[in-house]
Amino acid sequence: MHPEMRLIDLIVLVIYFVAMASMGPIFARKNKTTDNYFLGGRSFPGWLIGLSMFATSISSITFVAYPGDAYKTAYLRFLLCLTLPVGIFIASKAFLPFYRRAKVTSAFEYLEVRFGAGTRVYAATAFLISQVTRLGLILYLVAILVQEMTGLRAEYCVLIGGIITSFYTVTGGIEAVVWTDFFQSFLLWFGGIAILVVVLLNIDGGLGTVISVATADGKFMLGDLNKGGELVPAAWGFSLTEKTVLMMLVIGLNNWLTEYSSNQNVIQKYVATKNPKEAKQAIWICCLCSVPTWAFFMFLGTSLYVYFKLNPDPQALAMLHGTDGARADSIIPYFVVNKLPVGLSGLVIAGILAAAMSSLSSSINAISAVGIVDIYKRHLFKDRSEHHYIRAARGLSILASILMLGFAFFLLSATDKTLQDTATKITAILGGGLLGLYWLGFLTRRGDGRAVGAGIVCVLLFSTWVAVAEIMKIKIPFETYYTGLVGNLVLFFVAYVVASFIFKTKHDLTNLTVWTQTEEWKALDN
């Protein structure tokens, strides 16, 4: 990039960073208690929380990884997104009301009442590990953008992005997180639309050409790359060894049910609303905004494929084919930096980075909440002052930021087809069978700490086996994509069988399952 362009864009970027980061210290003044720091006094309107959840769900992963996937492959992985409404509908009926009625801060408080303290600690720990991986993934994507803009090594970009983000997230609290998410949801859309407009204006025939060329090349089909690097249609039926249409739908539903039944990022914002009506409004606003946004950014990747096919570029071609160490996930930052007008590229990148920061804030705040409520306050340091717990929460946020940096460095050496693959595999392996645990708790009358313990042991052995096989390049009898689904089934069925024949449930289950709710309990929704 021309030095003058870089300077102008960097100035825009710095100004925007300062403006967004200032929101952290502003809202930090209100954080006198942990309830304020984690939940904002449970006073948020549904529309604001809905847009916050939406912004958190899209982040820089949507802006970089989704177009990168569509640029390199086709639309098979978009099927994961289409099951979101189904997942939200089930969760809103079967899972989420329990959290509001119980007035929890952490999603895992329910598990202690249902299965015992050990189960709560296990689930909280599994969440903490999986969230650190998510933080590292988002930071890695941010690093790609900064690298493209500045020419710095990716390792330096990870450090810069991590340090800036750490300052913002530690000082922010949930109010800063929510309001920053709100503003960034619009800015991210602005950035995507700006890129698409520039692409279409530089293609003869505009949108019509994009659709015709992409259709002819099979870029809209439900397909993936075969071992020879060719784009081929996916099979439709059941399989544990390849990505089929049916299995992508199943995995998508599994992922969203996990997200909306046990993910602290979701539960924390759900219970931070004023009332149950506002909470349900929030999750449906998130759904109605998210699915079209994911579709848009997939189409953006397809448009870039057509653009660079008609305007050949050696670097873009290397990203498409994965040659010379180039990755498809870099296509958006490459286009933004090299093809957008002076100043606009800086503003678009600033929007992407700020959106990433707000998403990181949500995850780090959630990590802090779980760490303090489920472990620190519950088992380590009881009956301390609110000032003490606020300090501990900020300290835990700093620790999460450090771990985030470490995992981002790990992702720099990942070698999957696209970063979507890397993210899905890691999440699946580290999922810990949490959805299976909540299925057992909410949907059955079976199980106690002993039965669940047996299921946890089995799922940990299973996940360890998969992880070792993945690292050692040992072939396993199913696609790594499905590790999370299989892990959930393993925990559920092992615990259910053990609870049915060995350790039968003896404690009171009133208001702990969908089958044992009292009318008084249900009435709390009103």
Which three-class secondary structure string do you get for 285-344? Answer: HHHHHHHHHHHHHHHHHHHHHHHHHHCCCHHHHHHHHCCCCCCHHHHHHHHHHHHCCCCH
Contact indicator for 271, 99 with CB cutoff of 8 Å:
yes
Q: Where are the domains of the chain?
A: 3-218+244-413, 432-526
pLDDT score, position 4: 47
Structure tokens at 267: 């539960």
pLDDT score, position 526: 66
Distance CA 199, CA 324 (A): 25
What DSSP line would sit under 167-216, residue for residue? HHHHHHHHHHHHHHHHHHHHHHHHHHHHHHHHHHHTSTTHHHHHHHHHHH
Place of tokens 């905004």: 289
* Cα distance between the two ends of the chain: 59
Contact indicator for 133, 430 with CB cutoff of 8 Å:
yes
Contact indicator for 17, 164 with CB cutoff of 8 Å:
yes
Superfamily, domain 3-218+244-413: Sodium/glucose cotransporter (1.20.1730.10)
pLDDT score, position 33: 67
Question: Rounded to two decimals, what is the model's pTM?
Answer: 0.82
Q: Which helix (H) or strand (E) holds 381?
A: none
Distance CA 379, CA 394 (A): 18
Distance CA 109, CA 241 (A): 37
pLDDT score, position 83: 92
**Exposed e or buried b per residue across 174-194, where buried means at least 16 C-beta atoms within 10 angstroms of its C-beta:** bbbbbbbbbbbbebbbebbeb
Place of tokens 């210290």: 25
Q: Helices 344-370 and 3-21, interaxial angle, to 10°?
A: 40
Q: How many other C-beta atoms can be found within 10 angstroms of the C-beta atom of residue 508?
A: 9
pLDDT score, position 496: 92
Contact indicator for 491, 420 with CB cutoff of 8 Å:
no
Q: Write out the chain's pLDDT in tens, 526 residues.
A: 444 446 777 777 777 777 777 776 776 666 666 667 777 777 788 888 888 888 877 766 677 778 888 898 888 888 888 999 999 998 888 888 888 888 888 888 888 888 888 888 888 888 888 788 778 877 777 776 677 666 767 777 777 777 777 777 777 677 777 877 777 778 778 888 888 999 999 988 888 999 999 898 888 888 877 776 777 787 888 877 777 888 889 888 888 888 888 888 888 888 888 888 888 889 999 999 999 999 999 999 999 999 998 988 888 888 888 776 677 877 888 888 788 877 777 777 777 776 677 777 778 888 888 888 888 888 788 878 777 888 888 888 888 888 888 878 777 765 444 555 555 556 656 666 888 888 898 888 888 888 998 998 998 888 888 777 766 777 777 777 777 788 889 999 999 999 988 887 777 888 888 888 888 887 777 6
